[in-house]
């Protein structure tokens, strides 16, 4: 197998969000996710907020979030 590799430059402060459908099913756009967190947060606080928002919206399991903070 040959993996597909894509490189994107991240401009400005913010987060790169990798998540499971446990979050994406409830907040399917970058705008919606962006409303829940802001660049001043740490990755722990932002991750916790995203998971808790998905659970509050009705997610029952498999809410996985990984964040990379760009400064």
Instruction: Give tens-digit pLDDT for 21-71.
Output: 999 999 999 999 999 999 899 999 999 999 999 999 999 889 999 999 998
pTM for this predicted structure: 0.86
For 9, the token pair is 């430059």
| Local structure of 19: helix, strand or coil | strand
d(CA 36, CA 7): 26
Which residue in this structure is represented by tokens 């400005």?
Answer: 12
For 52, the token pair is 């808790």
């Amino acid at each position: 197998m040959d993996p597909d590799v894509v490189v994107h430059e991240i401009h400005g402060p913010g987060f790169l969000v990798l998540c499971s459908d446990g979050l994406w099913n409830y907040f399917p756009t970058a705008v919606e996710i962006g409303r829940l967190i802001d660049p001043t947060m740490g990755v722990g606080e932002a991750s916790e907020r995203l998971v808790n928002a998905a659970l509050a919206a009705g997610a029952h399991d498999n809410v996985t979030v990984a964040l990379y903070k760009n400064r």
